[in-house]
Chains A and B, each alone.
Chain A
Amino acid sequence: MSDLLKSDVDLEAIIAQADEDEITLRPDEPSLPPGEWMRKNLFSTPFNSVLTIVFALGALWAYRAILNFIFSENTQWDAVRVNLRLMFTQAYPDENYTRVWVSLAIVAVLAGLSLGLSKVGRGLSLKKIATWCFGWGGLIVLGVLLREPSVKTDASGESVFADANGVELVRDDLGSLAYANGDPAPSQGLELIRESFGSAMGNRTGWWIIGLLLLAVGAAIWFGLGDFRRRNTFVPAIPFGLAGVGLLVSTTWWYGWGNYTFSEEGFTYEPGELVASSTRNPWTVVFLVLVGAYIVGRAIQRTERAGTVRAITNLSWLLAPFVTFWAVLRGPVLDWGYVASVDIPLYLLFAVGGGLILWMLTNPHIGEAGRIIAVVILAIAAFTWISAFFGWFGMLQKIRLSILFLGLAALLAPNFKGDAKQRMKLIYGWLGFITIFHVMVTLINTPSSIEVPTEDFAGGFMVSIYVSIFTMIFSFPLGVMLALARTSRLPLFRVMSTVYIESFRGVPLITMLFFFTVFVNLFLPEGMELSLFAAVVVAFVLFSAAYLAENVRGGLQAIRRGQYEASDALGLTTVQRTAFIVLPQGLRVSIPPLVGQVIATFKETSLLAIVGVFDFLRMARDVIPAQTEFLGVRKPGLLFICVVYFVGAYAMSKYSQRLEKQLGVGER
């Protein structure tokens, strides 16, 4: 079906290119003087002038309305400020918070290393920085001028009212409103009094300073450099970004981000208790770790070992979600006796035994026997699963899975025969994989000492992040497999994959989420049950894999037939051809749409709110408005969520555009 809607033209790429042109072409031409620039871009024809004026007035009006809302005394930003912790980690127990900080520190180390090891791009041009300063400075100054004056307050901080005729009212001893001469105020037609324009401007000194400072910096760069060529000097972007993060972290030292505790009786607002006092130290440490890792990364980048460290870092990124997930949510209560008597022997059996089998299978002289052994192992694996369905031969689930993995590895192994060095690499891969797998399974199967209030998982933004990351990691292999099957020459594989892809793409995600959270337990055997978190991850993975498969298919179809013919003519097997020729080329072309899919998944995690997960959005929509201090206050929380999603999605889409450009340059 979706075939009908395929086109060869990649509009995203064209747009990215156009945006890139817009950014890169400009520095090379001398900038126009402001007057000429305006004449060219805003008032070129009478019609254009009218358009400019109409749109500018509209934009000013909208800007003023937004500012008025943001700074209105009726907008309770406190609802966000004091609930920040709730929105990010729900009611994660205080005594375990160290785990969150350690996880953040791990991520900071990896991020710092990756940034440090990344090849240095061109960075930011001074001209861009100046424009940026002008833009934000101008917006701030404009905002200061546009915003309506705040409500006038009296000495005790209460708002001042006036009657319908504008006569100011005062508060009597009891705090109720009255005329200055003591007459009681009318019940109808009262209005808030706002400050005069002059005193409003006077009260906004802080904003004035920031706005004018930015304008001044912009002007200093712009005019200080004079010649337009020197404005194209580039400064490295990453330190600037780090400085920005540092600025944000430093706010914990002087701004009171509030706290809402989650106690036995429910939520309690503790206005005096500031999160800043409890989090500024960890945040500062995390930031310093980030900077430190960046400096280390920079240092390594100059040495010859950069490539190795980069590879290790990338691998760690893949493992980090799992490690932090367990670090945050699992305090495993291990039964060491059981571990020593069952888990470790099993692990050693599969690690050593599997390693030996694979070593044998990759012997170049093994001949047909290799395939027969592989098929036998696969048959055993299939049998263990079938018997599981019928309840024969009870065994640990991880044994079944390990046999299955070993069977798959054995099936692929004959394609990777070679000299001892090649074979050892394969064995190392197997050992690494089986180690991670066994450790993870052992950790899952133990009870956790960490108690979170809702079901089995803490909520808030954390859940959205974990769902998106796990979806990404698990749906990728599935999607690639589906794409390979869909482009396969074998008709049954093609049909099966097409049916899967089209059924998942044809229905809305929300129905799939309902299916997996409500109906799926009907399909499972007695005693097996999917937890809510597992159910949503499974739903997201299966759904996202269908879309991912279509993106990858686009990349696979871009590979020319000659590539297949050349690899066939060289005698590569199908598996070798796929691993060495088809996937490296196909995935490279698919990277931009794959990032697009990641963004889409990130945005789709908002649907968790509908199926009963206490995510980020649910906090703003249901939880905060139910707190006694903030009854019915929704908009501030929702706007905050908008900002968080916007920052995440926008950053990723910009990154994807850059990536696309890099790939384009690397097109060889």
Chain B
Amino acid sequence: MSINDATTAVNAELAGRDDIIVCDGVDKWYGDFQALKGVTATIKEREVVVVLGPSGSGKSTWIRCINRLEQHQGGRIIVDGVELTNDTRNIEKIRSEVGMVFQSFNLFPHLTVIDNITLAPIWVRKRPRGEAEQTARELLERVGIPEQADKFPGQLSGGQQQRVAIARALAMEPRIMLFDEPTSALDPEMIKEVLDVMKELANSGMTMMVVTHEMGFAREVADRIIFMESGEIVEVGTPEHFFTNPTEDRTKLFLSQIL
């Protein structure tokens, strides 16, 4: 099966759904260094996409461009029908619709867990505090740590912190979740608890873009896998295709190193 066949197959499966993220020839430079070289991809609603690639390949840069933590310099990015430009209203709209989970959790250390989660709903979504807290407690229940609500982030383990970070992102009721290496900073025994939450989330029909090195997760959960190297998308395909029968040499080399 060639790459085109694979893509066609995937596209056929997803054909009925709407596009939610469209990237068209996205370029990004840091000084003279080009981090993204014309990245073009489309992500459908309720799709789970895992982005793989060696470090420095531009995966993180790409998903950070999608909620404009980084600004792209060439090409276009359209998220849920809204194009990312300098327009402040568009940026506000997209930020409140795209949730993001970071490698280093980035919880606010001076706020309790519940305050971390309710901060944005109250001040960005303008929810009344009581309602926001109610939602926050339900979300903590969902990620499995309802009893930690009144602690400070520093008192939690890494895995618990990352689950709080996921709950914090979910509290904004995003349509899309971005995960930037969510398990890389965790001890091995804590990785599973975070991945379980992510699997549950994927099964519930959330659109997800995940940068990770967890091959097991990619194989089990992903609808599609995008392989990047030096700022370019090298190969796109289903997990089955990607892990068993990759077409590109660079993909084969990467898999041979990592598996």
Q: Do chains A and B touch in the complex (CB under 8 A)?
A: yes
Binding site for B on A (CB under 8 A): 364, 415-419, 421-422, 560, 562-563, 565-573, 576, 580-581, 584-585, 588, 667-668
Instruction: Specify which chain B residues have a CB less than 8 angstroms from the CB of A416 in the assembled complex.
Output: 123
Known contacts A563-B106, A569-B69; A417/B126 CB under 8 A: yes
**C-alpha gap A572/B172 in the complex (Å):** 11
Are B67 and A569 within 8 A (Cβ)? Answer: yes
Instruction: Give the contacts of B61-100 with A (CB-CB under 8 A).
Output: 67, 69, 92, 95-96, 98-100
- Identify which of B128, B169, B172 contacts A421 (C-beta below 8 A): B128
Q: How far is the CB of A361 from chain B (nearest CB, A)?
A: 13
Asked whether any CB of chain A lies closer than 8 Å to the CB of B102, the reply is: yes
Interface contact B126-A562, CB-CB below 8 Å: no
CA A668 – CA B102 in complex, angstroms? 19
Per the CB 8 Å criterion, the residue count for chain B at the interface is: 32
B-chain residues with CB within 8 Å of residue A562 when the two chains form the complex: 102, 104-106
Chain B residues in the interface with A (C-beta under 8 A): 67, 69, 92, 95-96, 98-100, 102, 104-110, 119-120, 122-124, 126-129, 152-155, 168-169, 172
Cross-chain contact of A571 among B96, B105, B108, B155 (Cβ < 8 A):
B96
A-side contacts of B120, CB under 8 Å: 570-572
Q: Offer 5 A-B interface pairs, CB within 8 angstroms, sorted by A.
A: A560-B106, A566-B107, A566-B108, A569-B99, A668-B110
A107, chain B: closest CB distance, angstroms: 31
Cα–Cα distance between A421 and B119 once the two chains are bound (Å): 15
Given contacts A570-B172, A571-B95, A668-B109, contact A565 B102 (CB under 8 A): yes
Measured between beta carbons, the chain B residues less than 8 angstroms from A415 are 123
Q: Are B124 and A571 in contact (CB under 8 A)?
A: yes
B102 touches A566 (CB 8 A): yes
A419 and B129 contact, Cβ closer than 8 Å, known pairs A571-B95, A580-B119: yes
In contact, A563 and B108 (Cβ under 8 angstroms): yes
Q: CB-nearest residue of chain A relative to B109?
A: A668
How far, in angstroms, from A667 to B109 measured CA to CA in the complex?
A: 8
Name the distance in Å between B87's Cβ and chain A's nearest Cβ: 12
Query: What is the CB-to-nearest-CB distance from A348 to chain B, in angstroms, rounded to a whole number?
Result: 30
User: Which of B92, B119, B169 neighbours the largest number of chain A CB atoms within 10 Å of its CB?
Assistant: B119
Report the bound CA distance from A12 to B109 in whole Å: 23
Interface centre among B98, B102, B124 (most CB of A within 10 A): B124
Known: A570-B168, A584-B110; 17 extra A-B contacts, CB below 8 A, are A418-B122, A418-B126, A421-B128, A560-B104, A565-B102, A567-B108, A568-B69, A569-B95, A569-B99, A570-B124, A571-B95, A572-B120, A573-B92, A585-B109, A668-B110, A668-B153, A668-B155
Interface of A is mostly: helix
Most chain B beta-carbon contacts within 10 A, residue among A570, A572, A668:
A570
Taking CB as reference atom, which chain A residue is nearest B67? A569
CB-nearest residue of chain A relative to B70? A565
Q: Residue on B with the closest CB to A368?
A: B89
Q: How far is the CA of A421 from the CA of B102 in the complex (A)?
A: 33
Chain A residue numbers with a CB within 8 Å of B98 are 569
A-side contacts of B155, CB under 8 Å: 668
Name the B residues within 8 Å of A563 (CB-CB). 106, 108
Identify the closest chain B residue to A569 (Cβ): B100
Q: Quick one: which of A421, A565, A568, A572 contacts B129, CB cutoff 8 A?
A: A421
Shortest 6 CB-CB contacts between residues of A and residues of B: A668-B154, A566-B106, A571-B95, A562-B106, A668-B152, A570-B120
CB distance from B122 to the nearest CB of A (A): 6
Q: How far is B124's CA from A416's CA once the two chains are assembled, in angstroms?
A: 9
Minimum CB distance partner of B124 in chain A: A571
Give Cα A581 to B104, complex, Å.
17
CB distance from A495 to the nearest CB of B (A): 22
CB atoms of A570 and B95 under 8 A apart: yes
Chain B's nearest CB lies how many Å from the CB of A574? 10
A417 to B168 CA separation, bound complex (whole angstroms): 20
User: In chain B, what residue has the closest Cβ to A420?
Assistant: B128
Closest-CB distance, A662 to chain B (whole angstroms):
14
By a CB distance below 8 angstroms, the chain B residues around A566 are 100, 102, 106-108
Partner of A581, one of B108, B153, B168: B108
Q: What is the distance, in angstroms, from B194's C-beta to the closest C-beta of chain A? A: 17
Residue of B with least CB distance to A666: B152
By beta carbon, the residue of chain A nearest B108 is A581
Pair B154/A571 contact, Cβ less than 8 Å: no
A-chain residues with CB within 8 Å of residue B104 when the two chains form the complex: 560, 562
Instruction: Return the chain A residue nearest B68 by Cβ.
Output: A568
B64, chain A: closest CB distance, angstroms: 8
Residue of B nearest to A580 (CB): B119
The listed residue with most A CB atoms (<10 A of its CB), out of B123, B126, B152, B169, is: B123
Max chain B C-beta neighbours (<10 A), residue from A418, A421, A576, A585: A418
Question: Roughly how many angstroms separate A576 CA and B154 CA in the complex, as a whole number?
Answer: 23
For B121, the closest partner residue in chain A by CB is A570
Once the chains are docked, how many angstroms separate the CA of A585 from the CA of B106? 13
Expressed in whole angstroms, the Cα–Cα distance for A568 and B106 within the complex equals 11
Determine the chain B residues whose CB is within 8 A of the CB of A565 once the complex forms. Answer: 69, 102, 106
B126 engages A571 (CB within 8 Å) = no
Whole-angstrom distance between the alpha carbons of A233 and B98 in the complex?
A: 57
Closest-by-CB residue of B relative to A581 is B108
In the complex where A418-B123, A422-B122, A667-B154 touch, is A571 in contact with B106 (Cβ < 8 A)? no
Contact in complex: B124, A572 (CB < 8 Å): yes
Question: Nearest chain B CB to A479's CB is how many angstroms away?
Answer: 20
- B69 neighbours in A (Cβ, 8 Å): 565, 568-569
How long is the Cα–Cα vector from A585 to B107 in the complex, in angstroms? Answer: 12
Per the bound structure, the CA–CA distance linking A205 and B195 in Å amounts to 80
B107 contact set on A, CB distance < 8 A: 566
Q: Which residues of A contact B106 (CB under 8 A)?
A: 560, 562-563, 565-566
Please, how many angstroms separate the alpha-carbon atoms of A584 and B110 in the complex? 7
A578 nearest CB across to chain B (Å): 12
Give A562 to B107 CA distance when docked, in angstroms.
9
> From B88, which residue of chain A is reached at the shortest CB distance?
A573
Q: A581 to B123, alpha carbons, bound, how many Å? A: 13
Report the Cα distance A146→B107, complex, angstroms: 63
User: How close is B201's CB to chain A, nearest CB, in angstroms?
Assistant: 17
On whether A572 and B123 interact (CB within 8 A), knowing A419-B129, A565-B102, the answer reads yes
The 8 Å CB contact of A576, one of B100, B123, B152, B168, is: B123
A567 nearest CB across to chain B (Å): 8
CA distance A576 to B152 in the complex (A): 21
Q: Which residues of B contact A569 (CB under 8 A)?
A: 67, 69, 95, 98-100, 102, 169
Could you say which of B124, B126, B154, B172 contacts A419, with CB atoms under 8 Å apart? B126
Q: How far is the CA of A88 from the CA of B129 in the complex (A)?
A: 51
Known A565-B69, A585-B109; contact A422-B129, beta-carbon cutoff 8 A: yes
How many angstroms between the C-alpha atoms of A569 and B129 in the bound complex?
A: 21
CB distance from A307 to the nearest CB of B (A): 15
Min CB gap A425→B, angstroms: 11
- Name the CB-closest residue of A to B125: A571
